[in-house]
Amino acid sequence: ETSDPAVMHIDLQLLLDIVTLAIAASIFGLVAVFLGLPPTAGFLLGGMMIGPSCWNLVEEVKQLQTLAQFGSIFLLFEQGLLYAQTYTSGLSRPQQMVQRKTSRTDDHDPSVVGVIVLAILVLSSVIIFFTSGAVKSLLDAILLSVSVSICSSAVVTENIYAAGIADTVWAKRLNKMVAIQDLFMVPLLAIPELIGTLMEENGTFFDFMFYIISAALFLKGSVMFAPQTVNAAVIAESRMAHGELFTLSIVAYALMMATISEELNFSIEAGAVLAGIVLLNSPHIPKIRESIKPIKSVFGGMFLTSLGMIISPAFVINQSASIACLVVFIALFKTVVVSSTMYSFFDYPLSASVAFGGSMAQISEASLVVMAKAQRHGFVNRKTYLMLIPTTCILLILAPLSKSTLRLLKSQEDDDCLPICPRWITRCLHLRNYTFKHGVENKSDESSYESPRSNNHHRTPNELRKISRSH
C-alpha cells in the first residue's frame, strides 16, 4: 500500500525503542559515575540488560542499531580531532624548524616512542595469537593484535586530568604517545571492510590498485577541502547571532566524509576518524570539539549502549573464569611490554614507565568496532569476538586505577632534564661509575681518596642526574 506523502508517518515502536535506549544509557551511566567508574561501563551494562539476551525490552533492534551508528561517527570524529589538537603546535613552519634545531637531542620524540611501543605490542600480540591457534591466518592475527594493542586516548586524557598532572611535561608526552595511535585507526577500520569487499567480489590485483588510488585521491581531496569547509562555517557564524549553523555545518561535514568513505568501501568509521585528522594545524579545533560535544554525548552513549546489547549475561557468567584470565593477561601484558620498552630503550625512569604502561593497559572503544567488522567478514571467530567484548568493558572499568601511578609523576617533573632517573638509581649509578673509574689510581694512595658519598653530599639532584646520564 502506497503511503500518502502529504501525511507525516511515525514509527511508534522505533520511537519507543529509542526512548528505552536513552533511559537505559542515562540511568546506568549515572550509576557508573556515582560508583567511581567511567560512564562507558554503565552504557555497556545498560545495553546488556535491555538487550535480547536479558530483559528483551527492544523490538526493532536493527533499526535502533542503525540509528545508534551516528554515535560511532561522532565518537571517532572526536578521536581524530583529539589527534589533530594534540599535534597542532600553533607555530608557523619556519618557527617549527627553528624549534626542532634548538631542541635537546637527548629527548626522544613522544610520537616516535609511541609508534615503536605500538609496533612492539602488535608484534608480540601477533606471535601470541598466531601460535595459540586463536586465529586462522596471519592477517587475522594482525587485525586482532592491533585492535587489542590500541588504547583509548579519551580515557587516558580523562585520567590525566583526574590525576592533576595535565600541565606537566609527562602528561604532554603521554598524550602524544597515545594520540599517535589514532592515526593508525584509519587503515585499521578500512582494511577489514576493503578486504571483505574484495573477497565477496572476487577482486583482482587491478581492483585492489583501483581502491588504493581512490584512497590516495580521497585523502588528498580531504586535506584540501576540510580546512576550507571549517573556515566557511566560521565566517558564516560571525555574521549570525547564534552558532547553530556552525554546528550544523560541522555535523554535515563529518557525515559527508563518513558517507564518501563508505561509498569507496573504506567504511563509515574510517572516514569519521579521517575527518578529524585532516584538520591538523587548524586554529578552530577547540571550537569544533565544543560544538559537537552535546551531539557526541547523546549519540555516543546510545551507540555504546547498543553495543552492550550484543553481550549475553549467560555467556559472560559461563565464561567468567576465561574472561577474568584474559583481563589479567592483557592488562599485565600491555603494562609489562610498554614499561620495559620505555625503561630499557628510551631511558625513562621506572616509575614513569610503569605509570605510562598502566595508563595504556586498556583497550580502545573503537577496537570494538574493528573487531565487529572483522567478525562479520570472518577474520575473527564468534567466540573470540564475544570474549573480547566483556574483556574490553572490564579493562575500561579498571582504567581509572592508573590515576594513582600518574599522580606520582607530578613530583618527578623536571623540565631541564628529561627523561630523568629516580634519585636512588642516580646515586647508585654515580657511585658505581666513580668507583670503577677512580678505584685503581686511588688504591696506591688511600690517604688522598675522597669518598664518593661525601662528594655526592655536596651535589644537587640535577647535577647527579646529569652526571649519571653522561656516564
pLDDT > 90? residue 272: yes
pLDDT > 90? residue 122: yes
Name the range with the highest mean pLDDT among 311-315, 447-451, 458-462.
311-315
Q: What is the distance between the alpha carbons of residues 128 and 341, in angstroms, rounded to a whole number? A: 18
pLDDT-above-90 percentage for the chain: 44
- Chain centre to alpha carbon of residue 167: 20
Choose between 433 and 153: higher pLDDT: 153
Choose between 158 and 3: higher pLDDT: 158
Q: Which of 23-32, 297-306, 351-360, 402-411 has the lowest mean pLDDT?
A: 402-411
- pLDDT for the residue numbered 326: 93
Name the range with the highest mean pLDDT among 143-147, 216-220, 233-237, 463-467.
216-220
Q: What is the DSSP letter of 165?
A: -
C-alpha distances in Å from residue 167, one per residue of 110, 163, 171, 378: 16, 11, 7, 45
Q: What is the DSSP letter of 395?
A: H
- pLDDT for the residue numbered 284: 92
* Residue among 86, 118, 68, 119 at smallest CA distance from 276: 86
CB atoms within 10 A of CB 113: 20
Reported residue count of the chain is 471
- pLDDT for the residue numbered 49: 93
Average pLDDT over residues 404-421: 62
Choose between 143 and 450: higher pLDDT: 143
* Residue among 256, 267, 277 at smallest CA distance from 369: 267
Question: Which of the four pLDDT bands, split at 50, 70 and 90, describes residue 298?
Answer: very high
- pLDDT for the residue numbered 28: 95
Is the pTM for the entire model greater than 0.75? yes
C-alpha distances in Å from residue 431, one per residue of 41, 187, 279, 453: 49, 50, 51, 8
Radius of gyration of the chain (CA): 26
- Chain centre to alpha carbon of residue 278: 17
Q: Which of 81-95, 256-270, 367-381 has the lowest mean pLDDT?
A: 81-95
- pLDDT for the residue numbered 99: 44
Under a CB-based contact definition with an 8 Å cutoff, are residues 43 and 306 in contact?
no
Question: Which of the four pLDDT bands, split at 50, 70 and 90, describes residue 322?
Answer: very high
Q: How far apart are the first and last CA of the chain?
A: 85
Task: Kindly state the cell numbers that stand for 339.
Answer: 614499561
Tell me if residue 376 falls in helix, strand or coil: helix
pLDDT tens digits, residue range 159-201?
999 888 988 888 989 999 998 988 888 988 998 888 888 888 8
- pLDDT for the residue numbered 470: 55
Mean pLDDT score of the chain: 82
Task: Kindly state the cell numbers that stand for 45.
Answer: 551494562
CB atoms within 10 A of CB 262: 16
* Angle, alpha carbons 385-388-389 (nearest 5°): 90
Under a CB-based contact definition with an 8 Å cutoff, are residues 387 and 323 in contact?
yes
Question: Which of the four pLDDT bands, split at 50, 70 and 90, describes residue 446?
Answer: very low
Q: What is the distance between the alpha carbons of residues 157 and 163, in angstroms, rounded to a whole number? A: 10
pLDDT > 90? residue 50: yes
- pLDDT for the residue numbered 420: 41
Q: What is the distance between the alpha carbons of residues 284 and 281, in angstroms, rounded to a whole number? A: 9
Under a CB-based contact definition with an 8 Å cutoff, are residues 110 and 177 in contact?
yes
* DSSP tally for the chain: helices H, then strands E: 22, 0
Q: What is the distance between the alpha carbons of residues 218 and 236, in angstroms, rounded to a whole number? A: 26
Question: Which of the four pLDDT bands, split at 50, 70 and 90, describes residue 243?
Answer: low
- pLDDT for the residue numbered 370: 87
Average pLDDT over residues 366-386: 85
Tell me if residue 368 falls in helix, strand or coil: helix
Q: At what angle do helices 185-200 and 138-149 cross, to 10 degrees?
A: 150
